[in-house]
Copies of this chain bind each other. A is one copy, B any other.
Amino acid sequence: MADLTVDVAGLRLENPFILASGVWGETGATLARALRAGAAAVVTKSVGLRPRPGYPNPTIVEVPSGLINSMGLPNPGIEEYGAEMEEALRPGRPVIGSIFGATAGEFAALARRMERWGVSALELNLSCPHAKGLGAQLGQDPGTTKRITAAVKAAVDIPVFVKLTPTVASIAAIGRAAAAGGADALVAINTLKAMAIDLDLCIPVLGHGTGGYSGPGIKPVGVACVYELFKAVRVPLIGAGGVSTGEDAAEYLMAGATALEVGTLVLRKRDRTFRQLSRELARFLASRGHRSARSLTGRAHRGD
C-alpha cells in the first residue's frame, strides 16, 4: 500500500488530509470528532481577541458547484477557546490554530495564546473574503502580509502557516511576502468572493450580501494558485479549495502541495470524508505506480 504520510514544516501527518478552518471547528469536541474520523490534523475556526457573533443569517447558500458562506468569523474569543482546545487535543493529533486580527500586534497576541493552548502550528487568516478590515483586506497587501507574518514568527516558536486569498492580482507576490516574513508554509486558497441573489425576492440570499465561495467550483482556481506559488517560493504549500476526491488531492499535490485542507466536502461526507479521501488517494497512487503521496509534490513542474 502506498505511503500517505507527509511532513509539513516539521509536522508529521499520517495522511495529507487536514480539516479546513471554519468547518466543524467552533468547538473542540467536533475537532476531536474529525481527528477520530481520520483527519491527519485539524485547523480551528479562525479565532480573534474578542467574542464575535458573525453576520446575520442566512450565512450559507448552496450554488450548483459549491457553497457560499458569510459566517463572518463568529468565535468565542481566544480566552474562551482554551476550553475547546483541551477537547480538540484529546485524540493526540496535531491541531492548527487559526487566528485573525486587525493588526500585527493582535495577531502576535493571539498567536502567543494559541501556542499556550497547545496548538502544533498557527494559521494566519489573511484571506477571509468578507470581513471588513480583517482577513483578505490585510492579505491583499504584500507589505502587511510580511509584517504580520514576521510579528507572529517573532512571538512564537511553533511553525506559522499563512493562508492566502486568490482575490489578488498576483498570489505569487503575496506568497513571496509571506515567505519573506518567515512563513513556514502557505495555505492556498481561501474562498472566492461571491454572491447569490434570490430571484423571487430580488435580494441577496446571504444576510451579509456577499460571501465566500468554496467547493468543487473553485478547484481549478486553487490548483493554479498552488502551481504559481510552487514556482514563486520555496516553502511547503497546503492546497485547499474543492478537494472532493483522491484524484483532486493528487492534482493539488502535482501542482505543488504537500498536504490538503478539506472543508465543503464534509457537508456531503460527514465522518466518511477523511478515510474516503485517504482510501481514494491510496488507490490512485497504487493504480499509477506511485510509491508515496510525497513523491507527487510538484510533479507537474518537471517539464518547466
| A interface residues with partner B (beta carbon < 8 Å) | 63-66, 68, 136, 140-141, 166-170, 192-197, 199-200, 202-204, 209-210, 213, 216-221, 223-224, 227-228, 247, 250-251, 254-255, 284, 288, 296, 299-300, 302-303
A300 touching B223 in the complex, CB below 8 Å, given contacts A169-B140, A216-B65: no
Minimum CB–CB distance for A174 against chain B, Å: 10
This chain's copy number in the assembly: 2
Which of B213, B218, B247, B255 contacts A195, CB < 8 Å? B255
Q: Is the CB of B254 within 8 A of A197?
A: yes
Minimum CB–CB distance for A277 against chain B, Å: 15
Assembled-state Cα–Cα distance A166/B242 (Å)? 19
Q: Is the CB of B227 within 8 A of A210?
A: yes
The closest CB in chain B to the CB of A167 belongs to: B169
A202 touching B300 in the complex, CB below 8 Å, given contacts A65-B64, A194-B224, A223-B196: yes
* 12 sample A-B contacts, Cβ–Cβ < 8 Å, listed by A number: A140-B170, A141-B169, A195-B224, A196-B220, A197-B223, A199-B284, A199-B288, A202-B300, A203-B302, A204-B227, A210-B224, A217-B217
Q: Is the CB of A299 within 8 A of B194?
A: no
Within 8 Å CB of A228, what residues of B? 210
Within 8 Å CB of A196, what residues of B? 220, 223, 251
Which of B168, B223, B254, B300 contacts A169, CB < 8 Å? B168
Q: Is the CB of A195 within 8 A of B210?
A: no
Closest 9 CB pairs of A and B: A194-B220, A140-B169, A217-B217, A65-B65, A195-B224, A202-B299, A65-B217, A194-B224, A197-B251
Which of B167, B200, B217, B300 contacts A203, CB < 8 Å? B300
Q: Is the CB of A220 within 8 A of B221?
A: no
Assembled-state Cα–Cα distance A128/B82 (Å)? 47
Within 8 Å CB of A254, what residues of B? 197, 199, 202
The closest CB in chain B to the CB of A61 belongs to: B220
Q: Which residue, of A63, A66, A136, has the highest number of chain B Cβ atoms within 10 A?
A: A63
Assembled-state Cα–Cα distance A63/B217 (Å)? 9
Within 8 Å CB of A219, what residues of B? 63
Q: Is the CB of A221 within 8 A of B213?
A: yes
Assembled-state Cα–Cα distance A58/B192 (Å)? 27
Beyond A140-B170, A196-B251, list 17 extra A-B contacts (CB 8 Å): A64-B65, A65-B217, A66-B220, A140-B169, A193-B224, A194-B220, A195-B223, A196-B220, A196-B223, A197-B227, A197-B255, A199-B251, A202-B300, A203-B303, A210-B227, A213-B221, A217-B217
